[in-house]
Structure 1
Amino acid sequence: MMTLAEILKFAVIVYLAFLGVWFGTAQPKFDPKSKVRPMLYILVSVSMIVGLISIVSALTRHVPVERSIITFVLSSFSAAIFKSSLRAIKSKNLGLAFSGIVPGEVVQHGPYRYIRHPLYTAYGLFWGTCAFFSGSVLAALGACIVVIMYIAAARAEERHLMASDLGRSYEDYRRKTGLMIPRLFS
């Protein structure tokens, strides 16, 4: 008979796998001519490796009930940020990380009121939560690499935006919002 900890562990693994697939398939556009496309492939590959390490580590270790519950809560929060971000950019021309696409406007509603890159926040929180769940140092290292890559993507996108016709508007927006976490003091 399975213990409560084992049942929760398997339920969370299935939930994380579902979220990982959803995050990977609900993507905006990508310019196939982008010179930085290999960076996107590296980012996706590292993310998948973190996911696999997390699942294998969790399957081969005891996961305390508390860790499963915290993982469920944090990954659900990540999913809520992701969903509300997608809703905010539904008809906008935003691209994937490292896509090189400059949108037609500066989005400032939904979670974009508080942070400039809420999708990256959702991804970073998700992969960090997977690493936490697994208890694997290797998964934690991979999650750190993923977060660093998203920060690099955000900075590159902001350089493109600042050099575009949206530069002045985006600079005003930058002063009011945080990069990937809300700015507490403006």
Structure 2
Amino acid sequence: METALDLAITGISIAVVGFYAWSLRGHFSSASMPFTMRVVSAAVTLTTLLFLYLTWGRLQPAGAQLVGLGLEIAAALLFWWAISASRTARLRYAFDPDKPDSLVTVGPYRLVRHPFYTSYIIFWAGWAVATWTLWSILPVLAFVVIYVVAARGEEAKFAATPLAAEYAAYRRRTGFLVPKFAGA
């Protein structure tokens, strides 16, 4: 069972990282990749290698592997839902200095303002759970910081666009990285 779960985690993890890599050319449309985004891409590659090592170099409880695998699959589903909802929008790379020229409020964007970042965080958290080691928490925390900084920067850019009022209203009714619940 251990080898089967290791293979499943490896396969799903590499597929999801591949989805994310594909989106850099196949979905997002920036004029060029900002340096900061190149650093994030390098961090993704290094973390992928670390997590593969942790997956195959240690024995993990089957329950942790199953929970981690479930989180990774949920992250992939959220990612593709966000791709589908934003297909016609001109979304840019994280840390792109250009101001946004469109606002997506359908699909997962009805629930959270940054479903891609939410997907990425769920994915890394899932793989960390699957590795079942404290060492995997450090890169996850680093990615959370990176994605929050990127999302905050994107939100600040909306204030300087004709979409500012519409975005402010959207922001009041929609969660940042997790859905808002009534009364919250």
Is the contact between residue 19 and residue 79 of structure 1 (CA under 8 Å) also seen in structure 2?
yes
The aligned counterpart of 1:26 is: 23
**Aligned match for 1:114, one of 108, 111, 116:** 111
Aligned to 1:80: 77
Check whether the contact 1:63–1:134 (CA below 8 A) recurs between aligned residues: yes
Determine the structure 1 residue equivalent to 2:142. 145
SS in 2 for 1:163: coil
**Matched residue count:** 180
Moved more, 85-94 or 128-137: 128-137
Q: Aligned to 1:50, what secondary structure does the other structure show?
A: helix
Question: How far does the alpha carbon of each residue in 1:72-110 deviate from its partner, in whole angstroms, 9 at most, with x for none?
Answer: 211111011100000011011111111134333221100
Rounded to whole Å, the distance in 1 between the matches of 2:148 and 2:55 is 27
Distance 1:83 1:134 in 2: 24
Give 3-state SS (helix, strand or coil) of 2:125's partner. Answer: helix
- Counterpart in the other structure of 1:97: 94
Query: Which ranges in structure 1 are unaligned for 5 or more consecutive residues?
Result: none
User: What CA RMSD, in Å, does the superposition of the two structures yield over aligned residues?
Assistant: 1.5
Moved over 2 A (4+): 100-105, 135-139
Letter of the aligned partner of 1:77 in structure 2?
A
The answer to whether the Cα contact below 8 Å between 2:16 and 2:76 also exists between their aligned partners in 1 is yes
Q: Percent identity?
A: 24
CA distance in 2, matches of 1:93, 1:103: 8
Q: Which moved more, 1:109-118 or 1:129-138?
A: 129-138
Aligned with residue 71 of structure 1, among 68, 73, 77 = 68
